[in-house]
Each structure stands twice: as C-alpha cells, then as structure tokens.
C-alpha cells in the first residue's frame, strides 16, 4: 500500500482511529434552522465516511443557543438534539469511521442578527470583523457555561458519538478567555496565564467528570493568533500541557482568529502545510497525539509530517470538501484521480458567510453540500452530447456525461482547455488554478471524451455531429463601456488582452474597474514592474473576493505602490489623459500610456440564436448564459450533465 504511515491505526485515549485521515470541523450551514441534524448534513458526512476518512469531526456544535456563529449550526444545548446526532452517528459508523463532535461557543465572534441577542464575551471588546460590542459575562454565567460544555459532551456520548473536541481555537469564546488580546478581566478568569487558562481547563475537567475516563476528549487551539497581544506558540505550548493535565486525549493545532482569517483558511498565497511547524512545536511539549492542519493537500506532505514528528494525524479540511474519496483513492493507488484543492475559498468559507448562499460548496467539487440531490448515475441510454467550450463548466459537464456513459465531443477555439480560468492563474498567488483545470481535463480524457482544439465551431460543424444534446459553454467577453468617450482608441486594451499575452502594455498603466479581474490584473502588472493606477467607482476595490484572499492581494498592491482610486468614475479617455469624476468632482489623470478595461463581462453566445431553429435540447451554462464566477459555471455544468 502507498503511504503506509497514513493508513496505520492510532489511539486517541481509548478510541482507535483506523487511519491518520481527519476531516476537521468546518461550518457547513447544513443543519436545520433550529439546530437539529438535517438529512443534508447526514448525507454530507456519510459521503466522507464512505470515502475512507478515519475521524470525522462534526462542525461547530453550539453548547448554548446564544453561542451560534452561523444561522444553521448544529446544537447540543438540549436533549431534543440527541436523536439527530444518533442518526448521524449511525450513518457514519456503519462505514467503520469514527465520529467526533466539536463543542463550540462563538462568544464575541457572532452578531445579534444571528443569535437574536447581544453577543457575550470575557470582556466588552468588539470583534473587529463582527463589529458589535459584546456583553461581559458574569462569574455565574461563566460557571454555567462550563457546565453547558460538559452537558453537551454527555449528550454527544448518549447519541453514540465516539469523542468530542473542545473548540479553543480561531478566536471563539474559549480562545477569547485564553488570549490577552481579548481577555481584560481582573478576576480569577483573567490577567495571568494561569487565570486565562482556567475556563478551558475547568471545561475539560468537567467534561471528564461527566463522560467518564473511557470517552476521548480533543482540544483544539490556535497556536499563533497572529494579532497584537494574542497567543503565541510559546504560550500555546504551555496551554497544551495544562490541557493534558486537565484530562484531554489529543491536541489539534490550528492558527488565527477572525481578524486574521487569512491564517485560518489560508488562500493559495500561503504555502501548503503552513501550520505544521507550529504543530511540531506543540508536540514537543506534550505526550498526547497531535493533529496537524493547514493546507494539507498531498499525501506526500502528510506522510512527511508524521515522519518528521510534526503531527500524528492530519486534518485535510478543504481538501476533504474537494475530494471526499481521497483516502480510498490513495489506498487503491488512484493518486492521479485525487481532486486538488486550490485554496480559492469561494465555495467553502466564501459561501458560508455570503448572505445569498449560506451553504457550503466547493468550486472544484460542486457536489459538496448537495450530496443528497446530486449523484452520478449511469444514463438510461447513451446519447451524443456536443459541448462548445472547454472552460471549467464545459470540462466538468464533459467528464460527468462521459462517466455516465454518454458519447461526448468538445469543441474549443483555443489550443488547450481552461478558458478564461486558465488566465486567472497568471496573477501572483493564483498558479494553483491550473491544477484543477488539468485534473478536469485528465478525468474527461480518462472517461473517453473527444476534444477538438483550435476549432471555432460553426453551426454547420455542430449540426454535422448530429448531436442529441448541445451544451453551450462559450463563456464571456470583456464589457466595453460605450458610455466612456474615447473608449475605442489604440492605447485602450482589455485585461484579457494583457493576460493572454496579446498586448504588452507600456510602463505606466491605468486600469478601469477594481473588481476581481481589475485588481488581479493590477497585481500582475505591478509585480512585473509597471506603475499602475487602479480606478474603481465604488468605495472599495475587490468586493467580490473573500477577505482571506483579499488580504494578501491588497498587501501586494500597497507594497508595489499601486495608486488605488476609489469613488472614481471614468468619463472620457483622451490621448494623453483621462477625465474622471472622483467623489463627484472632475479630475484629470495624466501620464498613463496604456488604459486597461476591466469593467466587467458580457455573455459570448452568438451560437445560441443561430442554433435554436436547427437543433433541439440546447443548454447554455456559465458566462454564456449570465456572467458570474467559475464556481457557478461548474455547478451549472454538473447539474445539466446529471440530467441528460
């Protein structure tokens, strides 16, 4: 067997985990609104249990109704929740996996809208992200919460859950007590390190008294909070020792708080395995098994972490969203079929906090979060499906259709697959995008898809194929804002032209549009030494990018002295200057030799109307239907492919 260390069993207390693969607790928002376990949540977890994961940790389970961080969060603050957790435990354990429940209270890292009341915390200091001043907990309330954790753990045990994890990481309530950054109390729960550790220590001891000695308890902490006066690795080593003495059976090492979200769910700007050195330091201070996490996305890295004594088990987090079958694929030698997590943060953390989504998904794996309704089954009869466009949506559709047994032909005007998504790999920190494009292509070829590259498909080409169904995945093209006078001059180009290498801009560049494309093009050009001015008519740039991704982008833009002008509407482009309205006042911006348009995208779907009276069963997906993000195109491609 490949990677034998990863498939060795290990004991956490009295519980034997069959291998070293852990799915950590990640909010899914798939529970019912009242906190009970939904069928969707059971399907989500059972899919990963089937995939061979050894330990599955059910997400952020609230020990108190005022401790929720997201609306549809599981709860264990009442006996009514036991039945649902029992059903979940049975679904997971029938696949020989172990299941833990993470006990959680958000403290100040929530909102009154989410919980229906004022958030609570050790001290009345607001979380800069949630931006609400919490109410300081009284001593009586603190002791009541300690009991709430223990009672929730007991309910988990009664439901047939194998273990619990105390969530002391990521700036939630327990971490708020532990950290001098958020704890300014002067009683026995604040001040000295020992006092700040009293809350988690008493929780662990109370849980142990309640559940007995044979029930494993894991403690999760952020070894380095990356904030001023926050926990550091040195202090966290001492914290791990205290929790070991309090009776926990394993330490799960993470990083960051809400203010430093870029280190909790690090984007591709941060290297794989970035928390493993911290885990290794914690491991030196405790005799307990240590669980490592932090962009663990290859078995080689995981195996090496065990070899180097940095961790005993590995949490694969977002990688488990991307590929729920990863352990089974590795066990059977199908390493080439492992889907890559590209750390884009779009469907995972991005969707969880997006008020228009509020449900976990994954750009690479659109089945994530929809396991109950989306499933690949053999087609009742083979059909010939022609797809125009080998971008991410077209590739995903092609692969699924072929896997279901259909004959699939893909026309692509360029010499390789990926569409505009491939160009998205050019800006700094985005090189991993090519991994999932290559993976989609590999799986499509493996399932027998025929590709015709360098072919601009005509209506006649398509009709000659005699297709049963057609998928138009022709993408979009740059929006040319005709309301800007002088837009058609020679020195005005599109961001797409630059990223494709069609145009080499002069040294001084002005970019119109500060969304994802404009901001990343500015990043790309500034890193190459261009002097860049980035103009955005809204009050902020890059609002369509998750904060954890945006952090490093903004950092580079400032480091490379990009001149960011918000509240700026371009009115006219002249040969030697640009006329703009900046916060309602007329300004002249001069000295720019190349003007770059990144003002949006329009659909590229000329074939649709021409085909409509010649063939039946036409499906239009992605930007060809309505300009959005790649994650939308991929999901649409998958759903269409499942229904042909």
CATH of the domain at 449: 3.40.50.720
Host domain of residue 311: 4-352
Q: Across residues 195-222, what is the average pLDDT?
A: 98
User: Does the pLDDT at position 273 exceed 70?
Assistant: yes
> Are 390 and 269 within one domain?
no
Task: Answer whether 241's CB lies under 8 Å from 286's CB.
Answer: yes
Mean pLDDT computed over every residue of the chain: 97
- In terms of DSSP bridges, do strands 313-315 and 568-573 run parallel, antiparallel, or are they unpaired? unpaired
Told to judge if 172 belongs to the known catalytic residues of this protein, a careful annotator would answer yes
Q: Rounded to an integer, what distance in angstroms lies between the CA atom of residue 119 and that of residue 67? A: 8
CB burial readout 613-641, b (16+ within 10 A) else e: eebeebbbbbbbbbbebbbbbbbbbbbbb
Sole residue written with tokens 């990356």: 226
User: Does the pLDDT at position 583 exceed 90?
Assistant: yes
pLDDT digit string, tens, across residues 80-113: 999 999 999 999 999 999 999 999 999 999 999 9
> Are 586 and 613 within one domain?
no
Q: Rounded to an integer, what distance in angstroms lies between the CA atom of residue 607 and that of residue 470? A: 11
284 domain-assigned: yes
Q: Across residues 63-71, what is the average pLDDT?
A: 97
Question: Could you tell me the CATH number of the domain that includes residue 33?
Answer: 3.20.20.70
Q: Rounded to an integer, what distance in angstroms lies between the CA atom of residue 89 and that of residue 58? A: 10
Q: Which of 496-505, 606-615, 628-637 has the highest mean pLDDT?
A: 628-637
User: Does the pLDDT at position 143 exceed 70?
Assistant: yes
pTM of the entire structure?
0.96
473 domain-assigned: yes
> Are 328 and 311 within one domain?
yes
> Are 490 and 443 within one domain?
no
Question: Could you tell me the CATH number of the domain that includes residue 520?
Answer: 3.50.50.60
Q: What is the pLDDT of residue 466?
A: 96
Domain boundary among 565, 582, 599: 599
> Are 464 and 400 within one domain?
yes
Of the chain, the percentage scoring pLDDT greater than 70 comes to: 100
> Are 270 and 200 within one domain?
yes
> Are 344 and 252 within one domain?
yes
Q: Across residues 610-624, what is the average pLDDT?
A: 94
Domain boundary among 352, 374, 400: 352
User: Does the pLDDT at position 422 exceed 90?
Assistant: no
Of the chain, the percentage scoring pLDDT greater than 90 comes to: 95
378 domain-assigned: no
> Are 34 and 156 within one domain?
yes
> Are 176 and 93 within one domain?
yes
> Are 260 and 392 within one domain?
no
Q: Rounded to an integer, what distance in angstroms lies between the CA atom of residue 86 and that of residue 377? A: 29
- How many folded domains does the chain comprise? 3
Domain boundary among 564, 580, 599: 599
Q: Rounded to an integer, what distance in angstroms lies between the CA atom of residue 79 and that of residue 278? A: 38
Give the pLDDT band (50/70/90) at residue 1.
low
363 domain-assigned: no
**Residues near 417 by beta carbon (within 8 Å), at least 6 away in sequence:** 390, 391, 395, 437, 440, 441, 451, 453
Q: Across residues 212-218, what is the average pLDDT?
A: 97
Alpha helices, DSSP H only, in 221-372?
233-245, 261-264, 276-284, 299-307, 318-322, 326-331, 349-352
Sole residue written with tokens 């929790």: 243
Q: Which of 149, 172, 258, 551 is catalytic?
A: 172
463 domain-assigned: yes
> Are 208 and 70 within one domain?
yes
Closest by Cα among 473, 472, 459, 389 to 614:
459
**How many residues does the structure list for the chain?**
644
pLDDT digit string, tens, across residues 146-169: 999 999 999 999 999 999 999 999
Q: Rounded to an integer, what distance in angstroms lies between the CA atom of residue 286 and that of residue 239? A: 10
Task: Answer whether 590's CB lies under 8 Å from 467's CB.
Answer: no
364 domain-assigned: no
Q: Rounded to an integer, what distance in angstroms lies between the CA atom of residue 595 and that of residue 494? A: 8
Give the pLDDT band (50/70/90) at residue 2.
confident
Q: Across residues 258-267, what is the average pLDDT?
A: 97
> Are 469 and 484 within one domain?
no
pLDDT digit string, tens, across residues 458-513: 999 999 999 999 999 999 999 999 999 999 999 999 999 999 999 999 999 999 99
374 domain-assigned: no
Task: Answer whether 395's CB lies under 8 Å from 441's CB.
Answer: yes
CB neighbour class for 210 (10 Å; exposed up to 12, middle 13-18, buried from 19): middle
> For every residue of 301-329, which 3-state class applies, written as one string?
HHHHHHHCCCCCEEECCHHHHHCCCHHHH
């Amino acid at each position: 067997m490949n990677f034998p260390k990863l498939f060795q069993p290990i004991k956490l207390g009295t519980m034997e985990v069959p291998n070293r693969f852990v799915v950590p607790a990640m909010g899914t928002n798939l529970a019912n609104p009242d906190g009970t376990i939904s069928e969707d949540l059971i399907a989500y977890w059972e899919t990963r249990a089937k995939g061979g994961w050894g330990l599955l940790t059910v997400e952020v389970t609230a020990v108190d109704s005022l401790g929720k961080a997201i609306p549809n969060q599981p709860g264990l603050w009442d006996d009514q929740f036991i039945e649902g957790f029992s059903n979940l435990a049975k679904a997971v354990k029938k696949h020989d996996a172990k299941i833990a429940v993470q006990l959680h209270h958000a403290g100040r890292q929530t909102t009154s809208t989410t919980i229906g009341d004022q958030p609570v915390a050790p001290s009345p200091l607001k979380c800069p992200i949630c931006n609400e001043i919490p109410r300081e907990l009284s001593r009586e309330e603190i002791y009541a919460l300690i009991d709430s954790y223990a009672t929730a753990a007991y309910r988990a045990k009664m439901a047939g859950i194998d273990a619990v994890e105390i969530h002391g990481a990521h700036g939630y309530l327990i971490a708020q007590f532990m950290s001098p950054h958020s704890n300014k109390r002067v009683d026995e729960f604040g001040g000295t390190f020992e006092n700040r550790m009293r809350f988690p220590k008493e929780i662990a001891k109370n849980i142990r008294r309640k559940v007995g000695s044979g029930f494993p308890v894991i403690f999760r902490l952020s070894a380095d909070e990356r904030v001023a006066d926050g926990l550091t690795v040195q202090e966290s080593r001492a914290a791990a020792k205290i929790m070991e003495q309090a009776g926990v059976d394993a330490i799960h090492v993470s990083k960051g708080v809400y203010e430093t979200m870029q280190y909790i769910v690090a984007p591709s700007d941060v290297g794989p395995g970035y928390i493993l050195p911290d885990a290794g330091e914690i491991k030196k201070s405790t005799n307990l098994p240590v669980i490592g996490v932090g962009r663990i996305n290859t078995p080689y890295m995981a195996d090496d972490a065990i070899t180097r004594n940095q961790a005993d088990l590995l949490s694969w987090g977002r990688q488990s969203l991307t590929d729920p079958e990863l352990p089974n694929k590795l066990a059977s030698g199908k390493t080439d079929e492992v889907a890559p997590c590209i750390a884009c943060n779009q469907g995972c953390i991005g969707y969880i906090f997006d008020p228009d989504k509020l449900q976990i998904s994954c750009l690479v794996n659109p089945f994530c979060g929809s396991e109950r309704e989306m499933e690949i089954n053999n087609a009742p009869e083979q059909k010939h499906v022609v797809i125009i466009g080998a971008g991410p949506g077209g590739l995903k559709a092609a692969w699924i259709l072929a896997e279901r047994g259909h004959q699939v032909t893909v026309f692509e005007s360029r010499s390789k697959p990926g569409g505009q998504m491939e160009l998205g790999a050019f800006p700094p920190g985005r090189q991993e995008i090519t991994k999932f494009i290559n993976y989609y292509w590999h799986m499509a070829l493996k399932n027998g898809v025929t590709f015709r590259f360098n072919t601009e498909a005509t209506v006649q080409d398509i009709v000659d194929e005699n297709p049963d169904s057609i998928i138009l995945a022709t993408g979009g093209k740059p929006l040319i804002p005709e309301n800007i006078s002088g837009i058609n001059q020679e020195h005005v180009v599109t961001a797409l032209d630059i990223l494709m290498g069609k145009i080499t801009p002069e040294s001084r560049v002005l970019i119109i549009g500060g969304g994802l494309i404009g901001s990343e093009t500015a990043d790309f050009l500034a890193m190459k030494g261009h002097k860049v001015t980035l103009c955005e008519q809204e009050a902020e740039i890059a609002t369509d990018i998750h904060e954890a991704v945006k952090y490093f982008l903004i950092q580079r833009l400032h480091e490379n002295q990009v001149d960011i002008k918000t509240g700026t509407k371009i009115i006219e482009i002249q040969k030697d200057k640009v006329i703009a309205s900046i916060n309602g006042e007329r300004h002249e911006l001069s000295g720019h030799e190349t003007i770059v348009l990144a003002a949006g995208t329009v659909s590229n779907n000329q074939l649709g109307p021409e085909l409509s009276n010649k063939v039946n069963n036409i499906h239009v997906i992605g930007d060809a239907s309505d300009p959005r993000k790649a994650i939308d195109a991929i999901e649409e491609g998958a759903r269409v492919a499942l229904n042909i």
